[in-house]
Chain A
Amino acid sequence: MKKRDSAKGARYGMVIDLDRCTGCGTCTIACAAENNVSVLYDESDKTRNINWLKIYMLTNGKAFPHTEVVYLPRPCMQCGNPPCVPVCPATATTNDSDDGIVSQIYTRCIGCRYCMAACPYHARDFNWFDPAFPKGMDRYLSPEVSPRMRGVVEKCSFCHHRLMSAKSKAYFEGRRDLREDEYIPACVEACPTQAITFGDLNNPKHRVSELIKNPSAFRLLERLGTEPKVYYLTTKDWMRRMADNYLQGESKKEGNRPEKKNG
């Protein structure tokens, strides 16, 4: 295959509709099952457990019964300008591929966790322990994704192996481009309310390209300039305001959508 200019390559991205998401957690589980994510006895230890796709619960803090809650699923943002990459001394995480996916190469990782400190989204988890599976459960491990070892960092890969197999399939069929539905990550496929849309942001025909034009689309901590490729949709202004940090007294208008007059 001819090597492609990376600027013209694909730029895979995701749009998560928070108005649709019920926070059921099926995506988290699909991800863990697809990617051989290990389980701890104490999964409530959120500084030690591993969740490539973590769900956050946000509330508007209004008194009962005016309370609103938004569940926010957070995979790796697959930043276009990823802060985790340049800090890695072992070049274990890279962003030079022609698909825009920030890779994590476990066998290179030396466990220094600089990347974890650099990631503003807490998307990275460290293997503090040997990868544990309750007795007998190693039988469901998938050979498509290598299990990680103690001492390395791991994170969402946009189900890279699914891209690989889709590409090989296309290659064998003599095609160079993938159809929109050929490469779908496990969480996207699993979401029972179809809250997540996935595709190539460089391809105007893909639904994601259309969705990010939606005025209610935004990204997390946009002001940092990390250029996330995971977008969110919500009509709730209070939630959108939470998506970025502001100093006290600072105008919140600098978010990607001006605040409503009465909001």
Chain B
Amino acid sequence: MEFSRRNFIKFFAGGIGGTLVSPLPWKLIDDIAIWTQNWSWVPLPGRGKFSTVNSVCTLCSGGCGIEVRKVGNRVVKIEGRRNYPVNQGALCPLGMAGQQILYNEGIRWKAPMKRVGPRGSQEWEEITWDEALNGLATKIRGLRNEGNPEKLAGIDGNHSRSTVALLIKRLFDAIGSPNYLGMPREEDTHAMAAFLMQGTNGPVAYDLENSDFILSFGCPLLDGWGAPGRMMSAWGQVAGDKPSTRPFLAHIDQRASRTALKADQWLAPFPGTEAALAMGIAHVLIREKRYSKEFVDDCTFGFADWFDAQGHGHKGFANIVLKKYSPQIVENITGIKKSIVIELARRFASSHAPIALTGRGKGLLPGSVYEFMAVHALNALAGRINKSGGVLVAHDLPLAPWPDAEYDTVATDGLKRERLDRAGTPRYPFTRSLIHTFSEAVNSSQSSPVDILLISSANPVFTIPDSKSLIEALDKIPFIVSFSPFKDETSLMADLILPDHTYLEKMEDVPRPTGVQYPLFALSQPAVKPLYRTRHSGDVIISLAQRIGGTIAESFQWNSFEETLKGRVKGLYQLGQGQIAYDGSEPVWKRLDKKSGLTPVYSSFESMWEALRETGCWYVPSHTFGTWSEIFQTPSKKFEFFSSNIELALKTYSKGKSLDDALADVGILARGDEVYMPHYEELKSRADEKEYPLLLVPIELINLASGWIGNPPFLNKTLFDHQLRKDDLFVEVNPKTASTHGLQEGSKAVLKSRTGELTVRVHVFHGAMPGVVFIPLGLGHTAYDRYLKGKGVNPYEIIDPTEDPLSGQSVWWNTRVTMVKI
């Protein structure tokens, strides 16, 4: 064809038309988009076979069943298991973000490490496990050879009923050191109150789901208290019901917490006056004879006036309560109107299954013993102890005991020495461990009474109110060993790191998750093989004991942690009762009094163990309500309004001095018979109210990890920018308080207490009680990685704790501060 001008134009025009119609340019644009976007910095998720592992979350002692989703050998996600009795599918935000704890390389110790530079220089040398353990064993042997086994001390954050905690405790026993300390827990306060009034030692068991009136004295039911998975799923199960058919929740809180917001009634007494409110309710119950006469007459001691064996007259609980806690007096103390106190009491008494409960935070904050007793007294008055929907008297699981540990003379002598923290001595007769008195003991002696300190599953430098004195003590202690898998504040101060696996890499047990009302044993499974050269602390303890040798090695005749655990589980098998699967159809709490489904489906221990490893739970869907006489283990064999144990303890402690002096020492303001009974004690702050007009109250948020585990980055996504902005932490302040202090939303301010100061910003919030500054716990890390370190401030740096009367535990909620705008 001839190529004329005309043809050329035709060709050209056709060409343009053709190109536009053809997909080519679009394809090119698309390709450009792909090329410009596909850089190497876009991570490519690895492929592999999809699988799941059933396990249990052990980030707290809530015992939620989890399904770990895997691709190849990687964990990609964690989901809650609907077929798990505790949480029935629910997980808290932390549990949902667990994969970030496993895989965050920047926060993990990858192998045993020895400090080489000066302390705090962060110069470390990787060593072998043999080297690490032999070195430590030699040091411990050295202490024993000198006859000073008590110079070994330990701080353990594991749940006190867990197998690892028991192994560590056993190591201390066999070595001969009494200085094994548990981290503070809310459960300690519960245990003390239960011991003093009931003489029982079992776990907390609130049958909340079967109750129809829940009176919560600050127990943050939906803010992470107890077993959070259980609590949130329980709320989900009733939230859709008509208010008339679901349990009525009256919640006492100084702030519009998540629990307060969902409550049917929210009451806000002045901070620290909860016990007075409880006593006011008791007053109305007694005055209007609305208490359970049957229970009070038959099963309690100290209600009415009485005479002791020496013929001395004593005032009864009723007498004192009637005299001292009239609704008017209670209104003056708490700020709650007397009509409301009366109405609350009547509602409590007229409900079918009321329950009164106490609690603090997410389980790592102790409460006040007299307050817990005062609230529990309401359960007794209403006859709600060991009743369906009430406070159950629970027992430890029938796990098989290990053979007794062997003690040589060094160990028996060592164990006779007084504990450094004086817990369990006449000064603190009912307390298991006290970190602050431990620090004081170290700080007040010439040379450190502790040569070696082992710290496991805890980050006390960050998580206890009096961290300053602990840090001083740590500086003084010559050798610190940390078992932490994480580069947390405490492990960074150590000399030797023996890193544990993280929770997704190991098997662990949670006997009786916190607060759950029926016997349940939760067992986790490793979801992946350990990523690094870490070792299970249980195995490390066994291996260490064997290397120390002698009777200590004889006390640890196991090959592995799994063997010790399996040995204990035999006890559950021998009970001849229990279930190992849950199909999700009927919640276990609905069948507690039915006595059905008790017969196990397993026929041999091995088959039970296999099934337990697959399902992660063993439980008995029933509760033994028992008869009163067997339940109470107090000296009087009754429920004691007048605690004979307090009387005995104070008698011992006041030997050689006056009772008044003894009471002053123990910090009890009350006098007379009230000392031995639940009552309200005003907790004085050490600071002057005029000089420090505001009260600083730390709070825990369900979406901000505040314990040993550092907050994973995913959780930062859920914080509001009126909680954290850039690196500034916000405190919540009522508009009234803000205006008297010249503060606006977002103002920067300095909070100053007797012991220190912090710079924060202000969120003006109607939901905060006037006069109180609420500050979240969990930020202000100086360790971990860029995603956490340096964000916000740690309230504990300025908390000025006093001692709770009787228990000596740190009171973290009565620090007085000033707040000045900058």
Contacts and interface: CB of A to CB of B under 8 A. Distances in A.
Given A28-B718, A192-B80, A65 B92 contact: no
A136 B106 contact: yes
A44 B232 contact: no
Nearest to A136: B105
B405 interface: no
B716 A138 contact: no
A24 B93 contact: yes
Contacts of A191: 236
A29 B96 contact: yes
A153 to B, nearest CB: 12
B45 to A, nearest CB: 4
Contacts of B74: 139-140
A256 B78 CA distance: 39
A140 B76 contact: yes
A29 B717 contact: yes
Nearest to A129: B41
Given A44-B719, A134-B785, A107 B96 contact: no
B274 to A, nearest CB: 15
Interface in B407-424: none
A67 B256 CA distance: 7
Contacts, number: 226
Contacts of A215: none
Contact of B97 (A33, A46, A63, A150): A33
B718 A33 contact: no
Interface in A1-34: 17, 19-20, 22-26, 28-30, 32-34
Interface string B22-41: 00000001100110111101
Nearest to B235: A193
A139 B266 CA distance: 45
Given A39-B716, A44-B724, A136-B103, A189 B236 contact: no
A166 interface: no
A6 to B, nearest CB: 24
Given A49-B717, A63-B766, A65-B268, A107 B34 contact: yes
A193 B239 contact: yes
B715 interface: yes
Given A134-B104, A193-B235, A30 B222 contact: no
A95 B228 CA distance: 39
Contact of A64 (B30, B37, B97, B769): B769
A22 B222 contact: yes
Given A28-B717, A143-B71, A137 B104 contact: yes
Contact of A23 (B78, B104, B258): B258
B714 A32 contact: yes
Contacts of A168: none
B42 A137 contact: no
A39 B232 contact: no
Given A44-B719, A108-B33, A192-B233, A24 B43 contact: no
Contacts of B330: none
B315 interface: no
Kindly name the residue among B38, B717, B769, B770 whose own CB sees the greatest number of chain A CB atoms within 10 A.
B717
Nearest to A106: B37
Contacts of B769: 64-65
Interface stretch (A54-62, A222-230, A242-250): A54-62
Contacts of B715: 25, 29
Contacts of A142: 45, 71, 76-77
Given A135-B104, A135-B105, A24 B713 contact: no
Interface residues of B, number: 82
A20 B236 contact: yes
Interface string A90-118: 10000000000000001111100000000
Given A29-B96, A61-B766, A143 B39 contact: no
Nearest to A235: B243
Contact of A44 (B29, B91, B716): B716
B532 to A, nearest CB: 10
Contacts of B103: 136-137, 139-140
Kindly name the residue among A39, A90, A133 whose own CB sees the greatest number of chain B CB atoms within 10 A.
A39
B168 interface: no
A110 B30 CA distance: 10
A79 B78 CA distance: 30
B768 interface: yes
A139 B236 CA distance: 33
A192 B77 contact: no
Contacts of B714: 28-29, 32-33, 39
Interface string B95-128: 0110110111110000000000000000000000
Nearest to B29: A90
Contacts of A41: 786-787
A90 B106 contact: no
Interface string B696-730: 00000011000000000111111111101110000
A149 B38 contact: yes
Interface string A55-83: 10101011111011100000000000000
Interface string A34-59: 10110101111110010100010101
Kindly name the residue among A20, A51, A140, A141 whose own CB sees the greatest number of chain B CB atoms within 10 A.
A140
A151 interface: yes
A137 B100 contact: yes
Contact of A134 (B45, B106, B222, B734): B106
B575 interface: no
15 contacts: A20-B240, A30-B77, A39-B714, A44-B716, A45-B726, A69-B261, A107-B30, A107-B33, A107-B37, A135-B104, A140-B75, A142-B76, A149-B37, A151-B36, A194-B236
Given A65-B256, A130-B39, A189-B89, 6 more contacts: A64-B256, A64-B768, A67-B256, A130-B42, A131-B43, A134-B785
Report, nearest first, the 7 A-B pairs whose CB atoms are least far apart.
A136-B105, A25-B718, A192-B90, A193-B236, A192-B232, A141-B45, A43-B716
